[in-house]
Amino acid sequence: MSRRLTVLMPFHTPFYAPLAAGVALGHFAEAGLDITAVPAAVFGKAPMSALLDGDIQISLGGLMRSFDLAGRTGRIVVHFAEVCSRNGFFLLGRAPRPDFTWRDLVGKTVISFAEAPTPWQCMLTVLRRNGIDPERVRIERELPAPEAIAAFRAGRGDFLEQPQPAVERLIAAGAGHLVASMGEATGPVPFTSYMTTPEFLEREPEIVLRFTRAVYRTQRWLAGHGAPEIAKAIEPAFADTEPPLLERAVARYLAQGTWARDPLLRRAGYHYLEQILLAGAFIDQHQRYEELVNTDFARRVMAEGRVG
């Protein structure tokens, strides 16, 4: 009998194509899992709250949420499979800037992404790495994405930071011009992973193992296919995005190596993200890798080589 699970996405974007692809291609179903992928806004609760309240068992989410939770409350939410290995956001300007440098942001206003802190934290790191004091850039994070996009189109701000498909839609309309990929600028980082509670890991390890097998199978499929095939596979999950825009969004994500090729969330990436969050004062203390990351399931499925 198939096990039903609702898996939350922090927001609705093809950045999370690996989840949509795993469902559409039947990889979860073949592992005996009936997965419903739901954006947090539709579910009505943030992923971390839904996990802690027992409404769901597994969610996509950023490690920064677990860093924050552990630091504030001592509670632990564990990440067991890496999904997105790059920042999925892009920086748009009002006009083409073929010779863009990060110094172009000095004295300017960037309308950033309000729904999550990691894009903002990565921006701070990129600015500092390029010798720019973030205090010299006005970064606004007050507006939810639809309002931020509308404000930019209406003339507010100089730059806009958003994920896909908003980026392709703005470019196609001539309302924005791509000046930088935050994924390329930030470098490899475990931006998004599957997370669950320690209690669920202990209570139902077989479910987590089967889930991770399906994740790995999807990762290998993604690594072996191009944007047209991937976009076609995930199209049912993104019916609100025109197919040509969806394909371009997928192609851009593919080109920068956005999606993890295996589920192992490695120590080096963990510490890089932790340093980003510490430098940006989002957190003020270290957390042990072994507390927030469980690699047992990833290592087991990779050793099995059962990618189908």
Q: With the C-alpha atoms ordered 212, 214, 220, 222, is the resulting torsion angle positive or negative?
A: negative
> In this structure, are residues 302 and 262 in contact, taking their beta carbons and an 8 Å threshold?
yes
Q: How far is residue 134's CA from residue 106's CA, in Å, rounded to a whole number?
A: 8
Banded model confidence at residue 307, pLDDT cuts 50, 70, 90: very low
Examine the pLDDT at 29 and tell me if it is beyond 80.
yes
Residue 172, strand partner residues: none
Three-state SS sequence of 37-91: EEEHHHHCCCHHHHHHCCCCCEEEECHHHHHHHHHHHCCCCEEEEEEECCCCCEE
Two tokens, residue 214: 């399906």
Q: How far is residue 203's CA from residue 61's CA, in Å, rounded to a whole number?
A: 21
Banded model confidence at residue 42, pLDDT cuts 50, 70, 90: very high
Q: How far is residue 84's CA from residue 110's CA, in Å, rounded to a whole number?
A: 24
Residue 151: in which H helix or E strand, if any?
Answer: helix 145-153
Examine the pLDDT at 306 and tell me if it is beyond 70.
no
pLDDT at 308: 43
Half-sphere exposure of 124 (CA within 13 A, CB side): 17
Q: Specify the higher pLDDT residue, 308 or 115.
A: 115
Q: How far is residue 214's CA from residue 298's CA, in Å, rounded to a whole number?
A: 11
67-123, pLDDT tens digit by residue?
A: 999 999 999 999 999 999 999 999 999 999 999 999 999 999 999 999 999 999 999
Examine the pLDDT at 14 and tell me if it is beyond 60.
yes
pLDDT at 1: 72
Half-sphere exposure of 188 (CA within 13 A, CB side): 13
255-271, pLDDT tens digit by residue?
A: 999 999 999 999 999 99
Examine the pLDDT at 305 and tell me if it is beyond 90.
no
Q: How far is residue 139's CA from residue 79's CA, in Å, rounded to a whole number?
A: 30
Residue 30, CA distances (Å) to 24, 90, 214, 301 in order: 11, 35, 8, 15
278-300, pLDDT tens digit by residue?
A: 999 999 999 999 999 999 999 99
Mean pLDDT of 214-232: 98
Residue 6, strand partner residues: 36
Mean pLDDT of 148-170: 97
Q: Which domains does the chain have, with CATH numbers?
A: 3-85+189-304 (3.40.190.10), 90-186 (3.40.190.10)
Mean pLDDT across the chain, nearest whole number? Answer: 96
Residue 33, CA distances (Å) to 2, 211, 282 in order: 5, 7, 36
Q: How far is residue 272's CA from residue 191's CA, in Å, rounded to a whole number?
A: 11
